[in-house]
Each structure stands twice: as C-alpha cells, then as structure tokens.
Chain A
C-alpha cells in the first residue's frame, strides 16, 4: 500500500528521450495506418455501401404486353441495370412471366427460393420444378413441395405504354429485398 505513490512517479521518470520517440513513432504509424485504412475499408465495402445508399434496383423492361399470351407463363430475359465492362453474359438474367389476364401479371425470379438453382416451368402439369434439390411450385408461384420454405420470389412490375417493366437488379436470395415483397398486391395495373 505504502509503496504505491513511490512506484508511480518512478515509472514516469524512466521514459528516456529515445523511448519517447519510439512511442511517438508507433503512434505516428498508427495514425498513418488509420488514414490509409479509411479508403481501403471503403473500397472493400463498396459493393455493400452502394447498395445501401442509392440502391441497385431500377425498372427494366421485359417486353410488350402482347408478347405474353393471356393465361400462359413464358420465359423472358432482361439485362441487369448495373453493368461493369467485365461482366460478359452474366448480366443477362432470365425470369418467368405469367400473364394472368389483361394487365395482370406475375413475374417470378428464375432462382429457386431454396438455394437459387434455375427453376423450369412445366406447362402441362402446371408446375415449376427445380433440378437441384427437388423443389416444386404451383403456377401462381406458391410452394408445392420439396425443401423450399416459401413460394417463388416475385419481382414488382408495372405496365406502362404497353410495356411490362420489373424492378430488378439484385440476385434474388432469401435475404434480398425481393424476398419481403412477395405476397403484396401487384403495385399497379393501369
């Protein structure tokens, strides 16, 4: 107990000039590391931060309304709105378009709600089937059987000037924005 006040000043006094400069040098490097770390971390997280700020989603056209016969489900393709020069064909995406009638549509993601494999539409049995783990969905996208816990993901769509347009731009996964949209009424049908 009594030694405490003795020890404290003695440790302060042992800092030599060189020792001080070494500590200052380490501090200076720490500062430099922080200055560099800001752009490095910013660069590493750019794919996440961009999605949070302006968002990757935008409206892309799928084709004229009359390209899709009433009561049928057709494969359509669109180009992802966010493209980089090295993307090649990966930015071309497929989706299933079901025209219920008139301007009433359902646009399903190609990706199975289970683990994202491409589902295929079988007109005759009225089912979407997944080749990977055996998921199956009814014509309205609702879950029929297999491992998926939910129905197919649906893109929000609108019909404008005779064109079917969907809001797309993100890989449909169970955690993506599209996953929470399903179940809503089609946003517009004018």
Chain B
C-alpha cells in the first residue's frame, strides 16, 4: 500500500515538481527564539481567513443578494436550513475574531520591531491587509441586509457626500444609484464576495512569500540594533548558528493555536448564535436606533462626541493621515532598536491608541448622547419627587412628564443621559436661571419657549425648584431679595 501511494506521489511530482520547493519552504531555518507563542498570530489570521472562505461559500449557497429577498434568505438560513444558523454564527464570529487577531498581530509585529529593514514592504502589505479586513467587516455587515445595514449605508453615504466637489458622485457610485436599494446590495455583494477576497488572497500570498524570502523576524534583543549595511548578514549568521527548521521546530505552536482559535469561534457561534438580522430593511419603519458592529463602535462614539465643526475635517483627513502614518512608519523608523524595552514611545503609542479605542467602544455601548426615545411614556415621575408638593409643583411635574424632558434628562435614575441629571438641579440653578434655560435653551439644550405657555413654564420651574437633596438649600440669587425690596420677599419655589 505504502509503495503504491509512493508511486502515485512520484507520478504527480514528476509532472508538478512541487515537492522539492515545498520541502525547502517548510524546512527553511528560523531563529530558535522565534518558536514562541508570540509568533502565532499571523498564522492564526490566515487560519481564520480560510475558515471565512469556507463558511462564506457555504452561506452563498442559500443567501440571495437582492434587496427584496436578502432579509428573508437570512431568516431561512437561521430557521429553515439545517445548521444554517451555525454557519452564519461561525461566519459572524469568525469576522470578529479575524479583525481582533489581525490587530493583535499588527501590535505584536510593531512592538517586536518586525516592520524595520528589510521587512518594510511586508509591513506595508500588512497595512493593506488590515484595510481589506476592515472592508470585509463593513461590507459583510451590509450583506446582513437589515435595518442596521440599511441605515449604516445611509451613514456611509452621508460621510462620503461630505467629500468636497466629488462627494455627490461618490455617493451615487457607492450606492449604485440615487438611493439605497437593490443595486447597492448587489455591489456590496460583489465587493464582499469577489473583489476584496480576490485582493486578500493575492496580498496574503505576497505577504507570506516575503516572510519566507526575508525570514521571520528574530526575537528582538535590547541593544541589538538594526543597520541597513549589516542586518542581513547578521540575520543569516543567526539562522545558521542558532537556527532550526520551521517544520516541525516552530510550527507546532502555530498548529495548536490555530486549532484553539477555530474551536473558540465554534464555541462562540454555538453559545451566542448568529448576529441578527434585526428588523426588515424597510425605510418606512423609522422606530429604530441603528448601531454599527463591534469594531466600528468607537467611530460611532467619536461621531457623537466631536464638536460639529471638527467632524468633516476629521472624517475626511483623519483616515488619510492614519493610513499614511502606518505606511510611512517603516520608512521613518527602518533602523535602530527593535526591542520594545528600548522603545518607550512605541509602547506608549500602542497603549494610548488601545485605551482611546477601548474607551470609545465602551461609551458606545451606553450611547449616553442619544435621547431615550420612549422615556417619557415609559416611566412616570417617581412618587418621592411629588410627595408633599403644592398643586402648582405637581402641575409642573405633569408638564415635565408630558413635554418629554426625560428623553434627555434623568430623574431618579431613569431617563436619557443626553443632558445632566435633574435630581438636584435646584442646587445648581436659581429660579431665574431655570426659567432662562427652559425658554431659551443653551449648551446642548433646545429652547422650549415656543412649546410652553407662560403658565406651563411657571409650573415646570416650580417643580424643578423642589429638586434638591433634603439637607441642601436650593440655589438663590442673593441680589434678588434686595431688588424685590426686603428679605421677606421670597419666590414660592425657594420656600422650605
């Protein structure tokens, strides 16, 4: 039997002549210290990419890229086709894992100085691979053609339309027409299924080829400085003196980690299930609060918190600067120390970016800037705020409820976080200030002058003035008593 297999193998190799180059590639010597658990993320990213290819092809057996039917084909995958839900879940979780692993791989490469000479081009291609991975993540979210996808496209179009001069054309090119419709989904399908994966396969091939040709980055030692003139000679000496064949010396860790990642994705898919689809992509259903997928949440937060005037410059210039910085990095710091122990600015930069992205992502999960669209009807003013109040103040509580103040302000822990909590507003603002704030607005608050009658304003402010902690007096204007002629003159709201 073995002889037969050997003969068949020989027959093929006589024609293909691939065995020798494959053996050579597999057994190429790598520095012994690179057989480390820190070096497994690149192969893990490739593993997840292959998994995405397989699950993606499986999904394409059922999925229909038509704006009229995509949503129902996703429902069929979830509920009708045996294990369709699991394949969808694997693809969705695979996407999350892939973005995460690619980012971790990038951070590891950067901290280990692997972007330096002679691996600059490997890094630059890696930057393009990151951009394509993000492109896959976004276009994949569009193919899950639900409410979030529909309005997410609207957000993409709104951003694109801000490009000076060519903005409107870019929008029509992106949407495949004047509105988000069938042609939009079709072109995102073509991007997600043909264009970007094709480019990914080609670039991954180049990326791997260069790792083979230039050799894997050696473990960085503090003090071992990269110089263009001597590095390659030193590296070859290192692999000769202290090298070991990649297979099997280093690859077993890659294999273990790859299997672990596949199992982790399968476990997440099995336990948490597929993502969506949420509501139907019907633009006449407006009761929706679209949110992007996990990896774009930081952007969602940023777009809410940036001052309006800075937004367009940031959206249009920010990505260009960021991508240029990443591409130029290996050319600006192509030599010198590789070890993170001697590169404090590199470490701090990574930490700063990670903390910033993490904070924005966390904020986006609360979305404190969004009004609570149903707070006014859902939660009545708690009893304790109207206990022992006058008729006027209770009328004010009613105005407070009816005018939907709690869409943006919380009272007793319920309500929006857009504006400040009003539990103790009377301590912060005097009667006059309250009236002015309600009628004229200010800061981020709209003016309510046109929507409140004088009687309603009086009642509302009277109620707001009761909102102070038991032992704390409400704010009052010290000059008011004098102006109104004597300390006995008090406004109804400031009475204790």
Report which A residues bind B (CB closer than 8 A): 44-45, 47-48, 51, 56, 75, 77, 80, 82-94, 110-111, 114-120, 122, 124-127, 129-134, 136, 138-139, 144-149, 169-171, 173-177
Contact = CB atoms under 8 A, between A and B. Distances in A.
A176 B160 CA distance: 11
B180 interface: yes
Contacts of B444: 134, 145-146
Nearest to B373: A131
A124 B172 contact: no
Contacts of B183: 47, 84, 86
A169 B451 CA distance: 33
Given A86-B68, A89-B68, A90-B150, A171 B286 contact: no
A126 B451 contact: yes
B294 interface: no
A51 B304 contact: no
Cβ-closest 6 pairs across A and B: A88-B68, A175-B161, A86-B182, A144-B446, A116-B154, A175-B167
Interface string B415-435: 000100000000000000000
Given A47-B175, A47-B177, A129 B286 contact: no
Contacts of B303: 114-115, 133, 147
Interface stretch (B37-45, B402-410, B474-482): B402-410
B50 interface: no
A171 B469 CA distance: 50
B281 A134 contact: no
A139 B163 CA distance: 29
12 contacts: A86-B185, A87-B182, A88-B68, A88-B182, A89-B67, A90-B182, A90-B283, A124-B403, A134-B369, A134-B371, A169-B179, A170-B178
Interface stretch (B102-110, B306-314, B483-491): B306-314
A86 B180 CA distance: 12
Name A's interface SS: loop
A145 B441 contact: yes
B159 interface: yes
Contacts of B158: 111, 114-116, 173-174
B288 interface: yes
B327 interface: no
A149 B308 contact: yes
**Chain B interface secondary structure, helix, strand, loop or mixed?**
loop
B331 interface: no
Contacts of B167: 173-175
Contacts of B155: 115-117, 132
B184 to A, nearest CB: 8
Contacts of A83: 181
Given A83-B181, A87-B68, 19 more contacts: A47-B173, A47-B178, A56-B177, A88-B69, A89-B280, A92-B284, A114-B303, A118-B286, A119-B286, A120-B373, A124-B376, A125-B404, A126-B450, A127-B451, A133-B300, A134-B444, A145-B446, A173-B158, A175-B171
B371 A129 contact: yes
Interface of B: 66-69, 71, 150-151, 154-155, 157-163, 167-169, 171-173, 175-186, 280-284, 286-290, 300, 303-304, 306, 308-309, 311, 369-371, 373, 376, 402-405, 407, 418, 441, 444-448, 450-451
Contact of A147 (B177, B290, B304): B304
Given A90-B150, A122-B407, A134-B304, A116 B66 contact: no
Contacts of B311: 147, 149
Contacts of B441: 144-145
Contacts of B403: 124-125
Given A89-B282, A92-B283, A116-B155, A129 B407 contact: yes
Contact of B446 (A47, A85, A93, A138): A138
A51 B288 CA distance: 30
Contacts of B371: 129-131, 134, 136
A87 B67 contact: yes
A43 B95 CA distance: 32
A80 B371 CA distance: 30
Nearest to A171: B179
A148 B284 contact: no
A130 B444 CA distance: 14
A147 B181 contact: no
A94 B154 CA distance: 14
Contacts of B163: 175
A88 B67 contact: yes
Contacts of A134: 304, 369-371, 418, 444
Query: Which of A116, A136, A176, A177 has most B Cβ within 10 Å?
Result: A116
Contacts of B281: 88-90
Contact of B157 (A75, A132, A173): A173
A129 to B, nearest CB: 5
Contacts of A84: 177, 181-183
A75 B283 CA distance: 12
Contacts of B179: 80, 82, 90-91, 93, 169-171
A131 B285 CA distance: 13
Contacts of B68: 86-89
B162 to A, nearest CB: 6
A107 to B, nearest CB: 15
Contacts of A47: 172-173, 175-178, 183
Nearest to B283: A93
A79 to B, nearest CB: 10
Contact of A131 (B69, B370, B402): B370
B24 to A, nearest CB: 35
Contacts of A48: 169, 172-173
Contacts of B402: 124
Contacts of B168: 51, 173, 175-177
Given A93-B284, A147-B311, A169 B289 contact: no
